Chains A and B, each alone.
Chain A
Amino acid sequence: DTGVSQDPRHKITKRGQNVTFRCDPISEHNRLYWYRQTLGQGPEFLTYFQNEAQLEKSRLLSDRFSAERPKGSFSTLEIQRTEQGDSAMYLCASIGFDRGGYEQYFGPGTRLTVT
């Protein structure tokens, strides 16, 4: 267990529905990342927070996606009007320093299936 938690672990939804995922990073980490991982691919960067400020968004993040991190603690990722192409694993990570070096700590992910 890395200390980063995500909820839910699995979500099945019908096309057109809205879904929201939650990430709880390691408490002392002020930087938080969202990645998307599709089958057979490595994770791809979606967005990044420093404390409560969303400082960068990938062009992968269409206007149907919104992310928040109120009070710089947990973060939520919402997808509106889901499409089948949104089916993927959504990973959250926070940054810390371990054994004297930089490390991103990943959560277990939320696997989204859009039917």
Chain B
Amino acid sequence: AQTVTQSQPEMSVQEAETVTLSCTYDTSESNYYLFWYKQPPSRQMILVIRQEAYKQQNATENRFSVNFQKAAKSFSLKISDSQLGDTAMYFCAFMKPARGGNEKLTFGTGTRLTIIP
């Protein structure tokens, strides 16, 4: 079974600064996906960024980027130029592809990020 660990329950950073959220995972699979999801207060969980394990290049989406270290089983999220709207719970998640079958997500416990004005 896969496990996902987020060791930072809470973080805070000044607006416009850069922050890095940590995630480690454990799996015996060689092909998988990793995700960062954002859950703003009282709002829907939305995808921030995804990484396919077979891709060596780190994924980026505007101000969001990841540092994917497959051998170390580490998947950190970097948020640059942080904005007040980035305040949310952030969840790291793992998925094993199943070619149209059950592709359930396994989540970490989350990091509550607060951006300070």
A residues with a Cβ closer than 8 A to B are 1-2, 4, 31, 33, 35, 40-45, 48, 50, 55-56, 91, 93, 95, 98, 101-104, 106-109
Contacts and interface: CB of A to CB of B under 8 A. Distances in A.
A93 B105 CA distance: 10
B109 A40 contact: yes
B107 interface: yes
A33 B50 contact: no
A55 B46 contact: no
Interface of B: 4, 33, 37, 43-47, 50, 52, 91, 93, 95, 97, 100-110
Given A40-B109, A109-B44, 20 more contacts: A31-B100, A33-B104, A35-B105, A41-B109, A43-B105, A45-B104, A45-B105, A48-B104, A50-B100, A55-B101, A93-B105, A95-B103, A98-B47, A102-B33, A102-B97, A102-B103, A104-B47, A106-B45, A106-B46, A107-B44
A56 B45 contact: no
Given A33-B104, A56-B102, A42 B110 contact: yes
A105 to B, nearest CB: 8
Contacts, number: 60
A40 B107 CA distance: 12
A42 B91 contact: yes
A109 B39 CA distance: 11
B103 A43 contact: no
A48 B102 CA distance: 7
